[in-house]
Amino acid sequence: MKILIVGASGFLGRNLSEFYLRQGHRVYTYSRAIGLSLQNSNQLLPADVIDFIASENPELIFYLSNTLNPKSDYSDYVSHLQNVYFQLQSIINVCNYKNLEKFVYFSSGGALYNPKILSNEESPLEPLNLYGFSKLECENYLRFKSSEVPVLIVRPTNPYGRYQSLTGKQGLIAVLIGASVSGDAVTIFSPLESAKNYIFIDDLLEIIDFLSKNHVGVFNIGTPKNTTILELITIVERIGRTRIKYTCEAPHNNIIHSHNINFNKLNKVIDGYSFTDISAGVGYFYDSLAT
């Protein structure tokens, strides 16, 4: 199969590329990060992406491009419109609908829902920040085109694992591991009892692969159990064998502090899937740092 991954420089894109390369597929990647090396993938320059889709007709397209985070401001959002939203529209409009088996868009499982309400895929969407609003905009355009393009929208909770930046602005598990390794203090902007959902990268890849082969529509993706920040700190300290220095500051109003997400739709189609325990996943993440 000929697969295109747009937004391949992040840890999700790199893992996705390797996942399909191991299966023997022809993987083409595009990223704004010039010079990034994705072993054995065919890298495209920015000007090549639209021409590639129009001429080569990939069967599967993953769209992961994103320039925002929950703390992004309006100037960041304007840049997002040009680099992500308009690019998404351009890509959809040149797809060969006869050959394209699925267009998979990576949305967000936490940034779109009201955490005070147990939310499924049909619940009202109430983003608290421009990051969530940008995801909703892209979803809406894809829904508008869904009669022409086979679209799968995935809303993962908090993926974690190899290749994730230990010094980035997102990914609490990665940030805690980074603090454990470096000895630097980390600032936490949510109550320690806040509970979110975390999914190990290998589980996410397997589920998305299954969904992309068998389903369209919207799916929340997460594990059966939420984990508090305090529980995460304890797990990372135990596996890293070091105390983590951290300070707590007043919670930000534009950040989702807890997850209250319903995964029944997913569970019905992956009935019996065995998720990686979070302690085991954190251990695998640590192990990946040595390779």
pLDDT of residue 201: 98
pLDDT of residue 253: 73
pLDDT of residue 178: 97
* Helical spans, DSSP H, in 9-102: 11-22, 48-56, 74-80, 86-94
pLDDT of residue 45: 61
Lowest mean pLDDT: which of 41-50, 133-142, 182-191, 228-237?
41-50
Q: What is the pLDDT of residues 107-160, one digit of tens each?
A: 998 889 988 899 999 999 999 899 999 999 999 999 999 999 999 999 999 999
Please say if the pLDDT value at position 265 is more than 60.
Answer: yes
Name the band, by pLDDT with cuts 50, 70 and 90, for residue 47: low
Kindly state the percentage of the chain with pLDDT values over 90. 76
Q: What is the pLDDT of residues 224-242, one digit of tens each?
A: 999 999 999 999 999 999 9
Q: Closest by alpha carbon to 285, among 191, 194, 202?
A: 202
d(CA 146, CA 148): 5
Q: Indicate the pairing of strand 26-30 with strand 246-248.
A: unpaired
Please say if the pLDDT value at position 175 is more than 50.
Answer: yes
pLDDT of residue 194: 94
pTM of the model: 0.94
Sign of the four-CA dihedral 208, 44, 108, 288: positive
Q: What is the mean pLDDT of residues 46-60?
A: 85
Please say if the pLDDT value at position 285 is more than 90.
Answer: yes
Within 10 Å of residue 18's Cβ, how many Cβ atoms? 18
pLDDT of residue 48: 80
Instruction: Please report, in angstroms and rounded to a whole number, the separation of the first and last CA atoms in the chain.
Output: 29
CA angle 277, 9, 184 (to 5 degrees): 60
Question: Which residue ranges make up each domain of the chain?
Answer: 2-162+198-224
Residues 6+ positions from 104 with CB-CB distance below 8 Å:
60, 61, 62, 63, 151, 152, 153, 154, 208, 211, 212
pLDDT of residue 37: 47
Name the band, by pLDDT with cuts 50, 70 and 90, for residue 52: confident
Which helix (H) or strand (E) covers residue 61, if one does? strand 60-63
Sign of the four-CA dihedral 13, 108, 106, 159: positive
Domain 2-162+198-224: CATH superfamily is: NAD(P)-binding Rossmann-like Domain (3.40.50.720)
Residues 6+ positions from 166 with CB-CB distance below 8 Å:
174, 175, 177, 178, 181, 182
CA angle 286, 290, 291 (to 5 degrees): 115
